[in-house]
A and B are shown apart, each in its own frame.
Chain A
């Protein structure tokens, strides 16, 4: 992908797959909504937090569909300087970032790997949902990103996480996990907004073979699972090459099945065909979430099970 493209030109190839395409394009002119998750490891009553934020000029409303999430205005401001952030009572993250964790459905006592974990929004959400009782290994290939993750773990008071620094594609096979989350590095198309987020990562890193990296991560994630273990693959991009094509690759290489799951936000089935190329029919069980329909970053989430 060379040279400058407008958003309209860039997304044109998705005209047939994005529902209400014109509505999608016009939503790109709005800044992304701002959300935070209440850290229930420290506080379960949102009222004092909402009161404190109000004093600092923020209005927050609970999100009905997703427990412990709040939508905040003004969305252009940063929650990072608030007292509630400093004390680890809130974790700012986009609403759709919660979706892979819902698909994974972490339970106390389970051994879980978060393969591309930094800066830790999903790791800390898993810790919170299991009341700090799952055993979560949070990995990232870069030490500086792990440092940011550890700072977030400390800020939120999480005690159930071990951190490691490995290249995801080469994660050691010595430990077998009940569940693995691969929230893969991606082109980030789902978070694109005109003028606010600058260029798309895809353009910025034009020569990076994202799809190749994602396939390597997903296959390794499968290989470190126990038989019958659960694997969730997610990205914040619309691009089928980084989504269905990657899962389709795993289905051809390994014994895995795509599972259905109950999503708390409006979604669409995964694609079973893209640019004339068919994907495994079960890919319709994967979920696509579009930014203009959910009022947050666009996401793709597939839930899989290792068969043997």
Chain B
């Protein structure tokens, strides 16, 4: 195998490192406070941590055994730690967003297209400032940041 192939996708990654019970509680509290995700939604899953990210991975007794392999990625990139805040990934919201009950921003097609194009648009809402779930015509699109007077896209 070439040296290039040996390189990990995220060189800081040490896979897979499950979070402590306390860290898990913090994550679940955040998901429940901010988006109203029921905590038992993530019961079948483990959160794994790297320096800047949390990954969602199916709960399994094989986890330790798997560390014998040289792992590139494990599970779904779920939350990013962004300057002290947790930001859900678009992938996470597209998968689980339908179970959220809070801070869901329903956009019409025109506004969604404009946001995707311009990345940042003027926007007024009575939502709490912070990360929001973008929804349009019944579909979950992903993550954006709402600040008073503006909306910033985090869609890929």
Interface residues, chain A, with chain B CB atoms under 8 Å away: 41-42, 48, 83, 87-88, 109, 111, 132-135, 137, 141-143, 146-147, 150, 153-155, 157-167, 172, 174-175
Of B18-26, B54-62, B122-130, which binds chain A?
B54-62
A167-B1 contact given A159-B76, A160-B58, A162-B66, CB 8 Å threshold: yes
- Chain A residues near B9 (CB-CB < 8 A): 143, 146-147, 150
Q: Is the CB of B69 within 8 A of A150?
A: no
- Chain B residues near A146 (CB-CB < 8 A): 9, 72
A163-B73 contact given A42-B95, A137-B66, A143-B7, CB 8 Å threshold: yes
- Chain A residues near B65 (CB-CB < 8 A): 174-175
User: How many contacting A-B pairs (Cβ < 8 A)?
Assistant: 103
Complex alpha-carbon distance, A175 and B71, angstroms: 13
Q: Is the CB of A159 within 8 A of B94?
A: no
Contact of A165 among B45, B72, B78, B95 (CB under 8 A): B72
Instruction: Check: B150 CB closer than 8 A to any chain A CB.
Output: no
- Chain A residues near B6 (CB-CB < 8 A): 165
Q: Is the CB of A163 within 8 A of B58?
A: no
| Residue ID in chain A nearest B65 by CB atoms | A175
Contact of A42 among B16, B73, B74, B94 (CB under 8 A): B94
| Residue ID in chain B nearest A153 by CB atoms | B76
Complex alpha-carbon distance, A142 and B58, angstroms: 25
A172-B58 contact given A147-B9, A153-B76, A166-B1, CB 8 Å threshold: no
| Residue ID in chain A nearest B2 by CB atoms | A143
Q: Is the CB of A159 within 8 A of B45?
A: yes
Q: Is the CB of A157 within 8 A of B95?
A: yes
A172-B69 contact given A48-B138, A162-B74, CB 8 Å threshold: yes
Instruction: Check: B81 CB closer than 8 A to any chain A CB.
Output: no
Q: Is the CB of B57 within 8 A of A160?
A: yes
Please classify the interface of chain A as helix (H, G, I), strand (E, B), loop, or mixed, using the class held by over half of its residues. Answer: loop
| Residue ID in chain B nearest A84 by CB atoms | B139
Instruction: Check: B12 CB closer than 8 A to any chain A CB.
Output: no
Q: Write 25 A-B pairs (CB below 8 A) sorted by A numbering.
A: A42-B94, A87-B94, A87-B141, A109-B60, A111-B60, A133-B44, A143-B7, A143-B72, A146-B9, A153-B76, A154-B91, A155-B91, A157-B94, A160-B75, A161-B73, A162-B16, A162-B57, A162-B66, A162-B73, A163-B73, A164-B70, A164-B72, A165-B6, A167-B1, A175-B65
Complex alpha-carbon distance, A268 and B45, angstroms: 41
- Chain B residues near A175 (CB-CB < 8 A): 62, 65-66, 68-69
Contact of A159 among B4, B58, B66, B140 (CB under 8 A): B58
Complex alpha-carbon distance, A132 and B94, angstroms: 15
Instruction: Check: B5 CB closer than 8 A to any chain A CB.
Output: yes
Interface mask (B9-45 → A, CB under 8 Å = 1, otherwise 0):
1000001100000000000000000000000000011
Instruction: Check: B77 CB closer than 8 A to any chain A CB.
Output: yes
Complex alpha-carbon distance, A134 and B62, angstroms: 11
- Chain A residues near B96 (CB-CB < 8 A): 157
Complex alpha-carbon distance, A137 and B16, angstroms: 13
A172-B68 contact given A41-B95, A143-B7, A157-B94, CB 8 Å threshold: yes
